[in-house]
Amino acid sequence: MSINNNVQTVNREKSNFQVFDFLYKYGTLITIVLLLIVFGTAEKNFFQPGNIVNILRSISIVTIIAIGVTISLTVGGFDLSVGSTASIANAVIISLFVWHKQGTFLAIIIALLIAAVIGAINSFLIVKIKIPDMLLTLATMFIFQGVALTYTKGATISQNMVMPDGNFSEGQLTEAFIKIGQVPWIIIIMMVIVILVHVFLNKTKHGRYMYVIGGNKEAARLSGIPVNKYKVFAYMLSAIFAAIGGIILASRVQTAEINAGAPYLMDAVAAAYIGLSVGGAGKPNAFGTFAGSVLMGILQNGLVMLSVPYYSMDIVKGVVLTFALALTYWKKK
């Protein structure tokens, strides 16, 4: 009798575990499908091709910034300064066009170089001074945000703006640059980045080393892997992807609003954490992050269609992030 009972509890535990495991692996994908069904039935315009493209377009900047966060997560780090980095890139590139009349290529290169410097600063303080990742990037998040604000003197930069000498600015955005933020290019850039980073992380030795470092830093070090070098590399990449996000944002809105990049931080972190579980990867990965971003995008799009006011949107996004974190840490328990 007691033996039977034992067997039953064991089975029940086992099946509980399997249900949870299944939900962990496929929860994100199932949620996406469920959301599609719910929004599709509630709002008949939802499945219009125009709306699908709209969703993809709306998530592309978030996805690219989230890819940066994902890379910082692979080495066991965490980059909170991506939103501010995007703001700086946005301000710099618009100012290069409007204030300094630079060409497309040079403007983009300069913006990316500045991002590389930001990544270098972050990683120096993390690797050499040994400040914990999250605290350091929280601090630098404010620094870089302030730098962006100071650079723009607290104002929006736009074409034909009034300059300090009283004249209108003469620089214009180039045609080629404006194309970057438009369909189909914005979606193509996002997809290319997702695929490239996925291949890089999963198929090359550098990606593998980064996962090894994230998996067990001490073991990685004692295996002779140059841990610090890869951490620096990861934070540089993280900043560069944030800057690409900022550049595309600049192309899309054609101005540099103050703190334009800041709102992307939470969405990006949420996408990366939702992505951890996708397909049972259990570790930060580019496709997962893309799926997480899609989930956030559909949710936002659908809720807007259902007339949920914009000012309540943060509640929903915050809950989704909390749920993704709960899933990750409960699994580790």
Partner 1 sequence: MVAKEKILLQMKDISIEFPGVKALKVVNFTAEAGKAHAVVGANGAGKSTLMKILSGAYNHYTGQIFMKEELMHITSPKAAKEKGIQVVYQEVDTTIVPYLSVAENILLDEIANGMEKKFFINWKSIYKKAEEVLKVLNINIPVKKLAEELTLAEKQMVLIARAISNQCKFLILDEPTAPLSNNETEELFKVVKDLKSKNVGIIFISHRLPELFEICDEVTVLRDGEFVISKEIKDITQNKIVEYMLGKSFNQSFEKRNFVSKENILKIENLRDKHKLKDINFHANKGEILGIAGLVGAGKTELCNAIFGASEQVTGDVFLRGKNIKIKSPSDAVKNKIALIPEERRKEGILTEESIAVNISSTDLNKFSKTLGFLNLKKEKEISLEIIRKLQIKATNVNQKVALLSGGNQQKVVVGKWLHTDAEILIFDEPTKGVDVGAKEDIFKLIRDLADQGRTVIYASCEMSELLGITDRIYTIYDGKIVKELKTDETNEEELLFYSTGGH
Q: Confirm or reject binding of residue 10 to partner 1 (CB under 8 A).
A: no
Sole window of 120-128, 223-231, 242-250, 286-294 interacting with partner 1 (rule: CB under 8 A):
223-231
State which of positions 272-301 bind partner 1 (CB under 8 A).
282-283
Nearest 10 degrees: Cα torsion 259, 152, 90, 238: -70
Out of 128, 208, 319, 322, which residue is the one contacting partner 1 (CB under 8 A)?
208
Q: Confirm or reject binding of residue 225 to partner 1 (CB under 8 A).
A: yes
DSSP 8-state code for residue 279: G
Q: How many residues bind partner 1 (CB under 8 A)?
A: 21
Minimum gap (Å) between residue 322 Cβ and partner 1: 24
State both tokens at 189: 């850039």
Closest to 94 measured CA to CA, from 109, 80, 111: 111
Closest to 129 measured CA to CA, from 116, 139, 115: 139
According to DSSP, the residues that pair with 256 across neighbouring strands are 157
Sole window of 18-26, 141-149, 216-224, 319-327 interacting with partner 1 (rule: CB under 8 A):
216-224
> Which residues have C-beta within 8 Å of that of residue 46, sequence separation ≥ 6?
36, 39, 40, 301, 302, 305
Out of 203, 280, 318, 322, which residue is the one contacting partner 1 (CB under 8 A)?
203
Q: By rule CB under 8 A, what string of x and - marks binding of each residue 156-195 to partner 1?
A: ----------------------------------------
State both tokens at 317: 């996004």
Q: Confirm or reject binding of residue 196 to partner 1 (CB under 8 A).
A: no
Cα separation, 234 vs 78, whole angstroms: 10
Out of 211, 266, 305, 308, which residue is the one contacting partner 1 (CB under 8 A)?
211
Q: Confirm or reject binding of residue 212 to partner 1 (CB under 8 A).
A: yes
* Cis? peptide before 184, omega within 30° of 0: yes
Where do contacts with partner 1 occur on this chain (CB under 8 A)?
Answer: 203-206, 208-209, 211-212, 215-216, 218-226, 282-283
